[in-house]
Amino acid sequence: MSEQPYHHQGENLPPHDHNDQKIILEQSAKAYWQANLALLAKLLLVWFVVSFGCGILLADWLDQFTFFGFKLGFWFAQQGAIYVFVALIFIYAWRINIIERHFGLDDDDESVSKNEVHQ
């Protein structure tokens, strides 16, 4: 994967542009971090709404609805929120991977480079 020079700084960099490389890396790192924070904010909002919101603060109001034989607020507190938590982690892992690839900061080929270091 020669089009991803960021992983192997100091190895085979063209001699005239290593400062450019450094600046590009810093800029994409900044943009990546902003994108990451935006994604985290969205997912943590969902986390807060299903647990503290639906499970506790809004639970009494939600209890007037029935869901598969449960009062809805009770279901969120003892079942639903847990399912959403699991989904949130996998959604984060999936979305952030796409963002990382976009900025060329992913670690997709890293198990290979690790073995190289071992030898």
Binds other proteins (CB under 8 A): choice among 24, 35, 49, 57: 57
d(C-alpha 112, C-alpha 104), whole Å: 17
Question: Number of C-alpha atoms within 13 angstroms, CB side, residue 71?
Answer: 13
Nearer CB in complex with other proteins: 10/16: 10
Are the C-beta atoms of residues 72 and 65 closer than 8 Å to each other? yes
By CB under 8 A, tell whether 42 contacts other proteins. Answer: no
22 is written with which tokens? Answer: 């450094």
Give min distance, CB of 96 to other proteins, in A: 7
CA-based R_g, the chain, Å: 22
Applying CB under 8 A, the residues found at the interface with other proteins are: 6-7, 29, 32-33, 36, 40, 43-44, 47, 51-52, 55-57, 63, 67-71, 74-75, 77-79, 81-83, 85-86, 88-90, 92-93, 96-97, 100, 105-108, 110-111, 113-114, 117-118
